[in-house]
Amino acid sequence: MAAALSSTMASAATRTSPRRQIIHFGQFRQRQLATTAAATAGAGGAKTGVLMLNMGGPRTADDVEMFLRRLFEDRDIIKLPFQSWLGPLIAKRRTPSIIEKYNEIGGGSPIYDWTKKQGDLLCRKLDAISPSTGPHKAYIGFRYAAPLTEDTLQQMEADGVKRCVAFSQYPQYSCTTSGSSMSAIAQHFTKNNPTTMEWGFIDRWGTHPGLIRTFADNIRKTLQENFPDESKRKKVVLLFSAHSVPQYVMDRGDTYPSEIGATVQLVMQELGFSHPYRLVWQSKVGPLPWLKPGTEETIKVMVKRGHRNLMLIPIAFVNEHIETLHELDIEYAEELGKECGAEKIARCPTPNDHPAFIDAMADIVSKHLSQGPRVSPQLLMRCPECTNANCAKQKAWIGKITRSGSMPGNEQHQ
């Protein structure tokens, strides 16, 4: 959302400096696209399609305005008065400044390349550990950028995929992110021909031990690499940063903050509670109250109090994009760090292609395929104060397509 508003770009070498990442991104992207093309060319006849759901990001400057427009027109993520008129207007106004940010991180979002790589590695692993459900093929369904979820669904049906696992790439669930993607799937099939695929949904996995191990491993390595002096390393404050959301979203009963908190707690447990830490929220926009404390404000206060060595840990993203490469690396670690007198602000990489992370995803999907459930009870129930008709329709459709039955409240479209 708001972070997406500023969103994107990236590189593979996340432990190098942000500036070095920019220099290498073009080359990295070419390599990734070549890999992707090769992997896709030989991937026909899949029995199981794994649909990797995410927000997506503009791959070139020309894609930025349409990306923002789709985002600002999505009432599941943001509600505006006269939205069909105001959404495109805001998108147009923001486009030049967002393009500038993308240019600073290499010219476009790396989220497609990362997701494709993660999906290909995941499916290779699934073919090995779950041959009875193979061959497996990864498909990408983005909400606001190509390949759009609805286009990918058509492709999967045309490819004759027998079973689709809708796999949210947001480990912690929010109705504004994973929920919006699930609604896009439900809307596609209620508007078009019914699906011929068998369906399963993986909607949240923020406490999976493999995900926790990945974060902990990355934190340990980043501490070692950035703070060679042990006496300083021991005093580094860990700031787990997640995308903020407006308070009114939380007031509906969205589970996002508690699920983020659960991930943070388990990561710190894995680290033996080795350092002081806080959960902070980034990317707020507009005048309404959002979740606090903000990442930016926290950095300023910490440094002022004498905590001059900090580490930023993006805890809700599985790959690099504009909120990590621009907001965390350039705006906070580099510019704000200099401005407020920090000695060092390091940034922990996102999971990307960490082997433990790929293993974790494979474990989640293979267990889903062998043991179920096809949908979690949590996905089928609406937030206590939800009045969004899309949510009701989405949950009614998912209940029906997975033969999980109906849950009270899902037929009331208000």
Name the residues that contact ligand FES, by CB under 6 A. 175, 179, 252, 254, 382-383, 386, 388, 391
Q: How far is the CB of 60 from ligand FES (least distance, A)?
A: 33
Nearer to ligand FES, 67 or 256 (CB): 256
Q: How far is the CB of 384 from ligand FES (least distance, A)?
A: 9
Of 164, 192, 147, the residue nearest 55 (C-alpha): 147
Q: Which amino acid is at 223?
A: L
Give Rg (Cα) of the chain: 21
Q: Are 397 and 406 in contact (CB under 8 A)?
A: no
Nearer to ligand FES, 240 or 256 (CB): 256
| Number of other CB atoms surrounding residue 315 within 10 Å | 23
Q: Are 91 and 72 in contact (CB under 8 A)?
A: yes
Task: Render 119-134 in DSSP notation, one character per residue.
Answer: HHHHHHHHHHH-GGG-
Q: How far apart are CA 93 and CA 254, in angstroms?
A: 30
Q: How far apart are CA 226 and CA 355, in angstroms?
A: 22
| Number of other CB atoms surrounding residue 96 within 10 Å | 11
363 is catalytic: yes
DSSP annotation of 413 reads: -
Nearer to ligand FES, 203 or 296 (CB): 203
Q: Are 380 and 401 in contact (CB under 8 A)?
A: no
Q: How far is the CB of 75 from ligand FES (least distance, A)?
A: 11
In 106-162, DSSP assigns E strands to 136-142
Nearer to ligand FES, 163 or 393 (CB): 393
Q: How far is the CB of 381 from ligand FES (least distance, A)?
A: 8
Q: Which amino acid is at 231?
A: S
Q: How far is the CB of 254 from ligand FES (least distance, A)?
A: 6
Q: How far is the CB of 366 from ligand FES (least distance, A)?
A: 28
Q: How far is the CB of 261 from ligand FES (least distance, A)?
A: 18
Q: How far apart are CA 407 and CA 25, in angstroms?
A: 47
- Give CA torsion, residues 73, 79, 256, 57, to 10 deg: 20
Q: How far apart are CA 210 and CA 217, in angstroms?
A: 10
Q: Are 303 and 311 in contact (CB under 8 A)?
A: no
Q: How far is the CB of 389 from ligand FES (least distance, A)?
A: 9
49 half-sphere exposure, CB direction, 13 A CA radius: 27
DSSP annotation of 236 reads: P
Nearer to ligand FES, 254 or 323 (CB): 254
Choosing from 208, 243, 321, 368, the catalytic residue is: 208
Choosing from 76, 113, 120, 363, the catalytic residue is: 363
b/e map of 364-388 (b: 16 or more CB within 10 Å)?
bbbebbeeeebbbeebbebbeebeb
Q: How far apart are CA 341 and CA 337, in angstroms?
A: 6
Task: Render 326-362 in DSSP notation, one character per residue.
Answer: IIIIIIIIIIIHHHHT-SEEEEPPP-TT-HHHHHHHH
Nearer to ligand FES, 374 or 395 (CB): 395
Active site residues: 208, 363
